[in-house]
Structure 1
């Protein structure tokens, strides 16, 4: 009887501790001895306009270790943080990125479509995002391919070197040629191959240090095979507890989400559940 009471007391203490401090739940949620990595998709598109300084600052405040951002190149070579190749959806201007120069950025506003609270928020340059991130958060920089780029990889790496942030960033892309070129230019930089799915022949790509795969396509066999090659795996983009659980159950190392707070809460709850299961 006393042993049961002690177990219950221990579990309740763990429950309160996890919910209060958020420590260890990530480890338990992942089902292994390393933390589940939280990646803020488009810098955290749930709580602020996607791919903006406001979103990145909130991701930092929320304690996300990594923020994923998208980078494209303007016609004058300026590197901007933008997902779409056209400004229509976020800024209301039907103009392609590659037809635009830097002086136009000050006329584009992307906050109002998200919320009146963010009115005036603008499209940042990669340089601005690097300056904001500093050593406070790792940037997973997805290089978008449109076919209009001019020395995109060289320009991105030059900027990372200028800010002494080669070790603070991960370069990602869905375009294999981009990752190959990045590794040719800077062998030591971390890279991630982003894909909807993978074939078995893709698990050991020499230009990919990690993989980011659409969560619904992740399997335990895939993750184990990639881990066997010494590479890590992220699942994207999980914005519901069901999608998050599927990625956790696959054994992946990290989850990409628009909603950092929801994922953190899910990991805490999952950790508490595992704590109960381990005691009883």
Structure 2
């Protein structure tokens, strides 16, 4: 890593994030990216959560994974085409089960209140609607910097989109960043360094001893998604990776002991 990149990288002291991270709040046990899911994940003992953040048509940062509304709400079309007021009226729970009927899409502001009030940590995946990568990265980073101002541990910002991370780096360079990698692409390692990332968050199948050693040798952490089987978790632990994102909050306790 060259000196300019080293200077731009902000690493939280002693890597304050726990090993186990609950995917989208509580994995599949509750409707993803809703406050109900984060509350359920916390009830299972998790201290850190992953969420997906995107922009409404009028610039509100809200939580949803897909670009389209159909899978996880009763709405239709592209979520980024609607203003926040319209999005806030959607049912984001009935698709999962009757227990969660009427659950709403939360804003990042609402999730921040929950996390800060309870001492929980957050991995915010910047999940832009196609074509809004830079705008979303900037908006998420600016808002996160405001919401967590003065907090002992800031949120970890991650994205598959380098343009989103670059915008986040410019908007709030003090917030730690991680590059998400689903399949290897030419220059991913160099790009993570160029963006001043503190971590690479990869599909768990990509990690082997050589790749972990390469990432660690650059001073970056190795995180994995989405790990739902005990054999995969044990393999990652043996490799010495630093974070495991899981849906199975019912299988893995946050201290790494299987509940089975």
Higher-Rg member (1/2):
1
Q: CA deviation at 1:266?
A: 9.2
CA-based RMSD of the aligned residues comes to: 2.4
Out of 222, 237, 251, the position equivalent to 2:226 is: 237
Aligned equivalent of 2:104? 122
Out of 170, 180, 187, the position equivalent to 1:194 is: 180
Q: How does 1:200-239 map to 2 (within 5 A)?
A: 201-204=187-190, 205-207=193-195, 208-239=197-228
Moved over 4 A (4+): none
Q: TM-score normalized by structure 1?
A: 0.77
Deviates more, 1:209-218 or 1:36-45: 36-45
Preserved CA contact (<8 Å) 2:145 2:172: no
Q: How far apart, CA to CA, are the structure 2 residues paired with 1:154 and 1:179?
A: 8
Q: How does 1:1-280 map to 2 (within 5 A)?
A: 37-134=19-116, 136-145=119-128, 146-148=130-132, 151-165=135-149, 167-198=153-184, 201-204=187-190, 205-207=193-195, 208-264=197-253, 267-268=256-257
Q: How far apart, CA to CA, are the structure 1 residues paired with 2:17 and 2:172?
A: 28
Q: How far apart, CA to CA, are the structure 1 residues paired with 2:21 and 2:127?
A: 18
Deviates more, 1:164-173 or 1:145-154: 145-154
Q: How far apart, CA to CA, are the structure 2 residues paired with 1:150 and 1:224?
A: 31
Q: CA deviation at 1:99?
A: 1.2
Preserved CA contact (<8 Å) 2:18 2:47: no
State how many pairs are aligned.
237
**Which ranges in structure 1 are unaligned for 5 or more consecutive residues?**
1-33, 271-280
Deviations 1:22-79 (A, max 9, x none): xxxxxxxxxxxx9960011111222211001011112223232321100111111111
Deviations 1:83-132 (A, max 9, x none): 00011001132210121111112331121221211111111111111111
Q: TM-score normalized by structure 2?
A: 0.83
